[in-house]
Structure 1
Amino acid sequence: MSEFDNATTPPPPPVGTEPAPTDQRTMALAAHLLGIFTWFIGALVIWLINKDDASKSFVTDQAKEALNFQITIAIAMAICLVLVLVFIGALLMPVVGVLNVVFCIIAAVKANNGEAYRYPFALRLIK
């Protein structure tokens, strides 16, 4: 069995008995919202800062999820840029941009509530 057999199903959210602390929820919220303004850079910085701290598993998980989604959006925008030559890219770029904003806001609200959010479509490159 290959590691790519179930690449489309997102991994389950981390199992925890108690909700994430307020500071972790705020950092997770920031990781998702920074994607709107900084693409993958904000989530990358938050993930790199918190990845080695076992007590911040919620922040690490959500920053990884945000980072994977922003990498997916960057790839989609690059494809749209190439497709501008045949005019379809010009139509798809705003759609990708709106999807980015909508899903980042949904993820930020869920993260602020202490729920681990999984984007419906994202390449899970960072594991």
Structure 2
Amino acid sequence: MTDPQPASPGYPPAAQPLSPADEKLWSTLAHVGNVLGLLPSLLIFLILGPRGPKVKQESREALNFVITAIIAIVALAIIGAIASGIGAAAPSGIGLLFGLITLLIGLVQFAVYVLVIVFSIVAAVRVNNGGSYRYPFALRLIK
């Protein structure tokens, strides 16, 4: 009678694959997590992605989308800060124009966040119903 080989010391045991129900759950949560920012989809991608192909695919897609949204919001914030600085230093007529531009940029930032919420909910519903979702606009930075 042979004894089973013990795990090699210093190496953790291999992670078990996720059940189909767990894959569906974590794939859905990766999209819902976009509402909170980058961290939920990043953690799901890094921790659970290797344990299931659907989780890896959906968390990668969610991560790419939220990174794209963050890039857009930061770029708009930089442009808004520049416009605000120019407006503060400019004469009153031009200052008012740059003030309106700064307000418009703030509204666009808000619209980007609303789009993140809407698309994330649509993606979560589609994935929870057994499908897959690809965001209509997202930089494919994570391959």
For the aligned pair, the TM-score class normalised by the smaller chain equals 0.7 to 0.9
Choose which of 93, 109, 130 in structure 2 pairs with 1:114.
Answer: 130
The offset of 1:84, in angstroms, is 1.7
Choose which of 48, 51, 55 in structure 1 pairs with 2:49.
Answer: 51
Structure with the greater alpha carbon radius of gyration: 2
In structure 2, the residue matched to 1:40 is 38
What letter corresponds to residue 26 of structure 2 in structure 1? M
- CA–CA separation in structure 2 for the residues paired with 1:51 and 1:117: 16
TM-score (norm 2): 0.70
TM-score (norm 1): 0.78
- CA–CA separation in structure 1 for the residues paired with 2:80 and 2:121: 27
The structure that is helix-richer by fraction is 2
The offset of 1:83, in angstroms, is 2.3
**Any stretches of 5+ residues in structure 2 without a counterpart?**
1-18, 84-101
Choose which of 101, 104, 112 in structure 2 pairs with 1:96.
Answer: 112
Aligned identity (percent) is: 40
* Corresponding residue pairs, total: 105
What do the CA deviations read for 1:44-66 (whole angstroms, capped 9, x no partner)? 1001012323xx10011000000
What do the CA deviations read for 1:16-68 (whole angstroms, capped 9, x no partner)? xxxx922111101110111101x111001001012323xx1001100000000
> RMSD between aligned alpha carbons?
1.3
- CA–CA separation in structure 2 for the residues paired with 1:91 and 1:49: 35
SS in 2 for 1:119: coil
